[in-house]
Amino acid sequence: MRKLIIGVLAVVGSLLVACTPTSAPTPSPSSPTAGSNSPSESASPTESASPSDSPSTQGPEGSRFALMLVDASAAGSVQLLNAAIERAEALGVEIASFDAEGDEDRLPDLVASAIEGGFDAVLVEPLHWNGLEGVAKKAKEDGVPFVLVGRQADALGDASSYVGPDPAELSRVQMNGVVSLLEGEGRIAVLTGVPRSPFSYAFEEGYDEVLWENTGVEMVLEETAGGSPDRAADQVREWLALEEDPELDLIVAQNDLMADATREVLAEAGREDIGVVGIGTTDATLNALLDGAAGGTVWTSHHELGLRAVEVAAALVMGDPVEANSFVPGAEWVDATNVNQFLLE
């Protein structure tokens, strides 16, 4: 089954590469950052299905949008990109994708190159806010809409808008899944994102709401990891080294990248008896669940994110009023019992 899944995703990725024009409008290839860009196929005005709810469904024809992806080969990013292309075509907007190839530290340079290249809007799929403050401020000064897609790990700052899941819904779905996994009784540790941000407060409230009604599940440890997998791994190692064993049943992370790092640390320590729960349905998490790993994750529609992000960017370019947060509903719990239906969503 995993070979089939991987093969299908590889074919999807190959088709995307095959559609990439060699002369797409990106910054000069002589630039160090531009040389690593992977622009998607140029969009042209076409008929499309009925648009989703959004601030605007009529985009400015001829505008150029840049979509920044941390890893364009990931299944979720492939779905997001395809949806963005679909909506861009319907709105007469040209869209190019930029691939950080798994290295989020490259995102600021890629964004800067897109702004310098004259793109009318920049859409960014961040893991956390670190390093993006400067380019977000530059985009604002230059009048270029800067849209965060899928993840808002900090306050909005100089970004124009956030398009993604509602953190209050995510936290409730995730913690209800934890309660289900533990059958109403167990000990958990929580790895949080950026502290003292609107999202962190929403997660805290969602967790408290669920745990208040399920007193058999006890949160015995909680530390911030800032959304970073490296910091999450270090924190888990500290927990495992505690003189008094906290006797954990599950470690709950507020994104799947932290969850994936946690799972690796637990495997190295021979503690696969501790389950891991995240959010985001990364390829690594889905395959771990497919292999029978204890835990779960929360799915949100990458396709809907791609559609909505382009619509919001189009509205911003046109000067239409746009809410600071455009939440995409529909979070769903994923574990070993239903993971198969999400592998190729």
User: What tens digit of pLDDT does each residue of 318-328 get?
Assistant: 999 888 888 98
**β-strand pairing of 275-277 with 250-253:** parallel
Domains along the chain with CATH numbers: 13-21+30-44+55-163+302-328 (3.40.50.2300), 167-299 (3.40.50.2300)
Lowest pLDDT segment from 35-49, 77-91, 233-247, 279-293? 35-49
Cα separation, 296 vs 288, in Å, equals: 9
Contact 256, 277 (CB under 8 A): no
User: What tens digit of pLDDT does each residue of 35-60 get?
Assistant: 334 433 333 322 323 334 444 444 47
Q: Three-class SS of residue 95?
A: strand
Average pLDDT over residues 126-146: 82
Average pLDDT over residues 87-98: 94
Nearest alpha carbon to residue 296 among 185, 200, 170, 209: 170
Q: Alpha-carbon Rg of the chain, whole angstroms?
A: 20
Over 90: is that where the pLDDT of 1 sits?
A: no
Amino acid symbol at 244: E
Q: C-alpha angle with apex 111: 105 to 117, nearest 5 degrees?
A: 145
Please state, as a whole number, how many other Cβ atoms lie within 10 Å of the Cβ of residue 128: 20
Model confidence at 130, in pLDDT bands (50, 70, 90)? low
Question: 253-287 b/e with 16+ CB inside 10 Å = b?
Answer: bbbbbbbbbbbbbbeeeeeeebbbbbbbbbbbbbb
List the beta bridge partners of residue 191: 223, 253
Question: What pLDDT score was predicted for residue 128?
Answer: 64
Over 50: is that where the pLDDT of 185 sits?
A: yes
